[in-house]
Amino acid sequence: MQVTETRKRTRRGTQRVTMTDVATAADVSPSTVSLFLRRPESVSRHLAERIARVIDEMGYVPNLVAGSLAAARSRTVGVILPSILNSFFAETYNTLQGMFQAAHYQTLLGVSEFSPEEEESLIRAFLAWSPAAMVVTGFHHTERTRSMLASCGVPVVEMWDMPGHPGEAVGISVGFSHFEVGRMQTSHLYDQGSRKVAYIGAAASQDLRVRSRTDGYEAEVMRRGLHDPIDFTVPDAATTEVGRWLIDEILTRHPDIDGVVCSNDALALGVLFEVTRRDLRVPDDLAVVGFGDLPFSNSCPPPLTTVRPPQREIGRLSATQILAALDGVRVTQKHHNLDCELVIRGSTRPVAKR
């Protein structure tokens, strides 16, 4: 019967295999193991093979907590999204995650539910983990968030928006002009024949980007000068249900509108549903333009004309900027403004012209 090793049981101590265990087993020093893990090419082939074999045999998993403490940084990138309820940011997130993973950084996701306070608490929590970088959505932060981000000493990207004035962005910005989106949506409706265009929006109380799009709408309406802006924007979440309800309200009060701009494709879908119920024809009686190009937008009857944000490109560029900064490359351009694409489909294109 084997005597149980009376290893000097310190107060703590896990069963975990440590780097020292590996080093002992491979008959090298812990530094060599550490070096092997970080820069395998600077360890001789001979030892590298032996260490690799021992690591595999012992099932060694490096303790990132200890590593991060010693190095005062981690291979972790914090990402904050406002919501995962709609698929708006999903593509961007997937791109970010993919690129960071390829560079051996781990992505951690926090969801702020559009609340700057919640965002602050998430960022505080992330920073306590000494991340290598942070990616946040938009510029709408609390004062404390701004100062934390400004002073944390890691690269920060604010994505999905474009700074309206200098100093609005804390870090690098990667996004597009929501004002321009609103203008583009509205302009397109006039161009294809609408003469009285209304706007419906949702979630504006929380999402300042919706507000910018509305501003773009109003500017374009004023420029055309055919009528006063008609803006029905509510603080509720942007759902199909709310879209139905809003268009219902608008059609009751302004039965003569012949075009509607929606802050979100989910709302636009609700508009299509309600308009169908009322036996109006789209786009002949009412042209509809949305924003987001959500998964259903191409398959509803009629397919939805919409503005497609550069979701993937935002992710790609954000990750590129951060990885460059982490590699010590000096930032040449702090703000990256991308273009959105107007995807013209059946909801604004008269059937005759198809």
Nearest residue (CB) to DNA, 70 versus 352: 70
Nearest residue (CB) to a second copy, 193 versus 301: 301
| Residue 331 and residue 325 in contact, taking contact as beta carbons nearer than 8 Å | yes
Q: Binding string to a second copy for residues 293 to 312, with x set by CB under 8 A, is what?
A: --xx-xxxx-----------
3-state SS, residue 201: strand
Nearest residue (CB) to DNA, 63 versus 87: 63
Nearest residue (CB) to DNA, 29 versus 298: 29
Angle between helices 178-191 and 208-224 (to 10 degrees): 40
Give Cα separations from 123 to 34, 75, 220, 317, 330 (angstroms). Answer: 30, 16, 37, 21, 25
Q: State yes or no: residue 30 binds DNA (CB under 7 A).
A: yes
- Which partner from the list DNA, a second copy, none does 46 bind, CB cut-off 5 to 8 Å by kind? DNA
- Which partner from the list a second copy, DNA, none does 299 bind, CB cut-off 5 to 8 Å by kind? a second copy
Distance in Å, CB of 153 to DNA, minimum: 12
3-state SS, residue 110: strand
Q: Which residue has the tokens 């970088």?
A: 133
Q: Which of 53, 61, 223, 331 touches a second copy by CB under 8 A?
A: 61
- Which partner from the list DNA, a second copy, none does 298 bind, CB cut-off 5 to 8 Å by kind? a second copy
Q: Binding string to DNA for residues 65 to 94, with x set by CB under 7 A, is what?
A: -xx-xxxx----------------------
Give Cα separations from 154 to 12, 18, 48, 167, 325 (angstroms). Answer: 33, 29, 33, 18, 9
Residues forming beta bridges with residue 108, ordered by sequence position: 78
Nearest residue (CB) to DNA, 51 versus 289: 51
Q: Which of 1, 12, 151, 330 touches DNA by CB under 7 A?
A: 12
| Residue 157 and residue 163 in contact, taking contact as beta carbons nearer than 8 Å | no
Please provide the DSSP assignment of 254-317 as one string.
-TT--EEEESSHHHHHHHHHHHHHTT--TTTT-EEEEES--TTTTTSSSPPEEEE--HHHHHHH
Positions touching a second copy (CB under 8 A) are: 12, 14, 61-66, 68-72, 74, 83-87, 90, 93-94, 97, 101, 106, 108-111, 113, 121, 124-125, 127-130, 239-241, 243-244, 266, 269-270, 273, 276-277, 295-296, 298-301
